[in-house]
């Protein structure tokens, strides 16, 4: 095992030296490496990921074609590329082969992607196999709609009193909060008001008496 780890260390150092400055090469971790072929966003562009096992290079590395970059690559093309890499790797068992695998695809890029369509058709949904009930339509408006606050429930008596205090249109009549002064005084009359009333009564009597005294004498 120590010998294999030493071989991997030497190959790792060689790969980093060879591909230094190559933007298509990337080291994901100590044992995982990627290489991109073709221009970005081109329908024939793809990415190969090679991951070493503990026993590499005495056993084949894992070749991954299911990265997100290859999301538009059709299955037949992925399978063809993976098969070509596997056949090449089998010839190099026991030797460092990652560089050889990456380089062998450069000359075969066009042949391996000849079946890749420019526009990948959208997959249709088979309603008979999944059932209509599997489809769910969500209403974003309802989902984002805020919950309205719960209104206070009034009793019939409370509603009747509230109705009587308004003009039956929801507005209170003008002067609803005015104070009936006469009624207020009759209910809360004070001692001072009683004294005033008594004084006024006495004054009226005096006026009447005075008027009687001032009447002219009949001759």
Instruction: Kindly list the strands in the beta sheet with 25-29, ordered across the sheet, starting from the edge strand earlier in the chain.
Output: 25-29, 32-37, 46-51, 62-64
Question: Which runs of consecutive H residues, i.e. helices, occur in 54-190?
Answer: 75-90, 98-112, 127-130, 140-144, 156-164, 181-188
Structural domains of the chain in order of their starting residue, each with its CATH number = 2-112 (3.10.110.10)
What is the pLDDT at residue 102? 97
**What's the pLDDT at 176?**
57
What's the pLDDT at 2?
87
pTM to 2 decimal places: 0.56
Helix (H, G, I), strand (E, B) or coil at 96: coil
Strand partners for 36: 47
pLDDT at 41: 87
pLDDT score recorded for residue 155: 72
Q: Which segments of the chain have a pLDDT < 50?
A: 123-127, 129-130, 132-143, 196, 203, 205-214, 219
């Amino acid at each position: 095992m120590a010998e294999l780890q030493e071989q991997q260390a030497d190959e790792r150092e060689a790969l980093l030296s060879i591909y230094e400055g190559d933007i298509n090469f990337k080291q994901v971790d100590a044992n995982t490496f990627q290489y991109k072929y073709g221009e970005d966003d081109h329908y024939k562009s793809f990415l190969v990921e090679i991951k070493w096992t503990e026993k590499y290079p005495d056993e084949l590395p894992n070749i991954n074609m299911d990265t997100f970059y290859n999301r538009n690559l059709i299955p037949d093309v992925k399978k063809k590329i993976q098969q070509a890499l596997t056949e090449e790797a089998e010839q190099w068992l026991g030797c460092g082969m990652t560089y050889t695998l990456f380089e062998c695809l450069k000359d075969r890029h066009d042949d391996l992607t000849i079946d890749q369509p420019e526009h990948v058709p959208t997959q249709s949904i088979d309603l008979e196999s999944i059932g209509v009930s599997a489809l769910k339509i969500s209403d974003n408006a309802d989902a984002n709609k805020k919950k309205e606050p719960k209104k206070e429930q009034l009793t019939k008596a409370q509603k009747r009193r509230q109705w009587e205090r308004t003009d039956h249109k929801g507005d209170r009549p003008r002067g609803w909060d005015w104070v009936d002064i006469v009624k207020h005084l009759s209910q809360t009359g004070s001692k001072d008001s009683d004294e005033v009333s008594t004084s006024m009564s006495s004054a009226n009597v005096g006026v009447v008496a005075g008027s009687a005294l001032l009447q002219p004498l009949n001759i």
